[in-house]
Amino acid sequence: MTSAKRPTSAFVLAAGKGERMRPLTATIPKPLVPLGGKPLIDHVLDRLATAGIKKAVVNVHYLADKIERHLAHRAKPQIMIADERKHLLDTGGGALHALPKLGNDPFVIHNSDSVWIEGLGSNLDRLLDAWDEGTMDSLMLVAPLAVSIGYDGRGDFQMDPIGRLTRQSGPKMAPFVFAGVSIAHPRLFDGAPEGPFSLNKLWNRAIERERLFGLRLEGIWMHVGTPEALAQAETALMEPLTTSSD
């Protein structure tokens, strides 16, 4: 049973140095690298706005002034800045730092380099509709490895029939990879450490409580982390959708 109220706020991770994307990020921050003629962060913010997200808190660190100037013109969603110029806080520390701006309700966490080609309908709408704060501390969008571009890892999770996630154990590849988007309840951060830390720390704790869930992405997920992956994503955007997640 899903929650009646969909989250309307988001935290967008835009503070990274983009070292794997060099030389493109020598003079511009990774969120402003263009894909299909549009900066990566605008792909993210446009999709959030279309899904009904009213407020987006964006963290900044590397070349922060350029990101702030770029976002100054946006009206939807409303932009707030979480400043990490002095100390880069990693994914978990950054989200914890932004909590006072996000409020007490569940919110979306979205990587600024995670984009996808939709299958049937909107994956973000499906994720928001599937959120159930009674049973979940976090709900992730997860992509099958077979429909992922720019990802060269061994996968992240296994998923049971009702959507509960666990880490892959042993030498086998995990069938699902985190697609860079999740919904989090503020209680996920109860007892979280101060300073920099990864969201993985909190997700592992949610797994122990059987409160980490996943939703399968329909379409093609693109992890745009390197110049080579960016080129692959550009090619995919120009081609018709021929890959199915079935």
The whole-angstrom separation of Cα 215 and Cα 159 is 9
The pLDDT confidence band at residue 170, using thresholds 50, 70 and 90, is low
Please report, for the chain, the start and end positions of each structural domain, with discontinuous segments joined by +.
Answer: 9-238
CA angle 207, 211, 217 (to 5 degrees): 90
pLDDT at 139 over 50: yes
- Right CATH number for 9-238 from 3.30.450.20, 3.90.550.10, 3.90.1720.10, 3.40.50.1820? 3.90.550.10
pLDDT at 200 over 50: yes
**Dihedral over Cα of 66, 112, 123, 4: its sign:** negative
The whole-angstrom separation of Cα 224 and Cα 231 is 9
Torsion over CA of 10, 26, 19 and 108, rounded to 10 degrees?
0
> In the beta sheet, which residues pair with residue 140?
182, 214
Mean pLDDT of 10-28: 93
Q: Which of 69-83, 162-176, 205-219 has the lowest mean pLDDT?
A: 162-176
The whole-angstrom separation of Cα 138 and Cα 189 is 11
Q: What is the percentage of the chain residues whose pLDDT exceeds 70?
A: 95
Mean pLDDT of 161-176: 87
State pLDDT tens for residues 106-116: 999 999 988 89
Mean pLDDT of 158-174: 87
The whole-model pTM stands at 0.92
